[in-house]
């Protein structure tokens, strides 16, 4: 990823929404800044007896709508600026999806592959211990992100409960089912994106069975997105990861491709498909391109090569503001991350509700509720886009930021 200022990207997106926010825009200076960003130094004794120190951060952006909500990533390039920006986008994402949460984010600067299983557990517990005083169902509810998973959340949960001395099943989300997780959580980001895309295609008058999709990023999110799109009749014709990709005009079978990657460790050389470089995937003649990896994948350097009619952002912040302008000028419709990839936090909200009530739902019920919520959010965002003749991203910010500003206005500025 190039060295882009993510917080500056966020502020540019807010700026584009400002003319449509009315009198409440007076409160934007407060919204533009995170409420607090905390830095930690986490000590870890390694298996060889040596001591390493890891920098970590937690950013609380805004909690006008409810407790802070956001993932924790273990990432070698994590930084204060990145975590603060992602927490701000989480505020908009939660509001756009209609969730009773504010936005936060956490991160540890570490390459998890450098640690063994026991070291990773101790680092996870060190982070949970450091943040325990500001975590809880009514304060902040962390969740998985890059390089963290249900097992990480189980370690977080256990550490937090030992500090508290009681059981608090709604303190973290994205947990294993055995410790209070929700059915449907692991694939929720992909399913949410597929629901948003289905509704978007309906607005555009496009039949999903005629739609060809290319997915950039083929980790767990890209793989489950492939399955979700195929289940709706769409044809995924190309996928890529950090090592390259494959293209098959007749479509790629998700099961066979998954088995090939598991067996060989690579997407390349899949029978019946031609190999691609990672960058070539954006220039393919497809209907929908799906960035599902890291930030700033679409930039001013490659956006002009996009031939797709729709960009569906399943990654966080995959499109820079400069690329946004280029795509807008080309007539490419961008389904923004704050809406398209809100499936994960929406089902996290469902898990939080289930944990607080003790009433756990079936996967069918979880996906039904997810579909209902995100389909409604897309339609309302589409209406704003049509009303003001603005891009979907700006409409999503008008919708999300507007909700937060109205809550801030009602609560008042105190002390």
Catalytic residues: 105
Q: Are 52 and 119 in contact (CB under 8 A)?
A: no
* 6-17 and 392-411 helices, crossing angle to 10°: 80
At 146, phi and psi to the nearest 5? -60, 125
DSSP state of 5: -
Nearest to 23 by CA among 406, 343, 413: 406
DSSP state of 186: T
Starting at the edge strand found earlier in the chain, the sheet holding 310-312 runs 274-276, 244-247, 235-241, 212-216, 288-291, 310-312, 333-335
Non-local (6+) Cβ contacts of 128 within 8 A are 135, 155, 156, 159, 160
Nearest to 55 by CA among 82, 89, 90, 86: 82
CB atoms within 10 A of CB 5: 13
Cα dihedral 211, 212, 218, 223 in deg (nearest 10): 40
Q: Are 310 and 234 in contact (CB under 8 A)?
A: no
**How far does CA 33 lie from the centroid of its chain?**
20
CA distances from 240 to 124, 214, 215, 339, 390 (A): 30, 8, 7, 23, 31
């Amino acid at each position: 990823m190039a060295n882009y200022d993510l917080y500056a990207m966020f502020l540019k997106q807010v700026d584009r929404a400002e003319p449509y926010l009315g009198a409440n825009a007076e409160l934007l200076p407060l919204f533009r800044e995170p409420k607090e960003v905390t830095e930690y130094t986490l000590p870890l004794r390694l298996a060889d007896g040596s001591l390493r120190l890891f920098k970590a951060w937690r950013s609380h952006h805004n909690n006008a709508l409810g407790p802070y909500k956001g993932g924790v990533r273990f990432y070698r390039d994590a930084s204060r600026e990145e975590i603060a920006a992602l927490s701000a986008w989480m505020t908009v994402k939660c509001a756009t999806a209609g969730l009773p949460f504010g936005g936060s984010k956490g991160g540890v600067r570490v390459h998890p592959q450098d640690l063994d299983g026991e070291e990773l557990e101790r680092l996870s517990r060190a982070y949970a211990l450091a943040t325990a005083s500001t975590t809880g169902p009514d304060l902040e509810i962390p969740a998985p992100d890059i390089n963290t998973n249900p097992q990480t959340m189980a370690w977080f949960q256990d550490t937090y409960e030992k500090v508290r001395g009681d059981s608090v099943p709604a303190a973290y989300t994205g947990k294993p089912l055995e410790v209070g997780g929700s059915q449907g959580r692991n694939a929720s980001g992909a399913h949410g994106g597929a629901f948003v895309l289905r509704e978007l295609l309906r607005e555009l008058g496009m039949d999903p069975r005629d739609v060809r999709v290319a997915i950039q990023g083929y980790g767990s999110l890209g793989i489950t997105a492939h399955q979700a799109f195929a289940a709706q009749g769409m044809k995924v014709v190309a996928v890529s990861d950090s090592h390259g990709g494959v293209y098959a005009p007749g479509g790629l079978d998700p099961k066979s491709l998954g088995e090939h990657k598991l067996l060989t460790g690579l997407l390349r050389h899949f029978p019946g498909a031609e190999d691609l470089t990672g960058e070539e995937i954006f220039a393919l003649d497809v209907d929908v391109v799906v960035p599902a990896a890291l930030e700033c994948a679409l930039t001013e350097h490659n956006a002009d090569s996009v031939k797709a009619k729709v960009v569906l952002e399943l990654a966080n912040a995959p499109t820079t503001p400069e690329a946004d302008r280029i795509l807008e000028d080309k007539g490419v419709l961008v389904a923004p991350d704050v809406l398209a990839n809100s499936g994960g936090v929406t089902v996290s909200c469902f898990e939080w509700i289930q944990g607080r009530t003790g009433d756990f739902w079936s996967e069918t019920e979880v996906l039904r509720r997810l579909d209902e919520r995100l389909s409604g959010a897309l339609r309302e965002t589409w209406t704003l886009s049509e009303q003001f003749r603005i891009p979907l991203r700006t409409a999503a910010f008008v919708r999300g930021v507007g909700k937060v500003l109205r809550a801030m206005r009602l609560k008042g500025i105190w002390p």
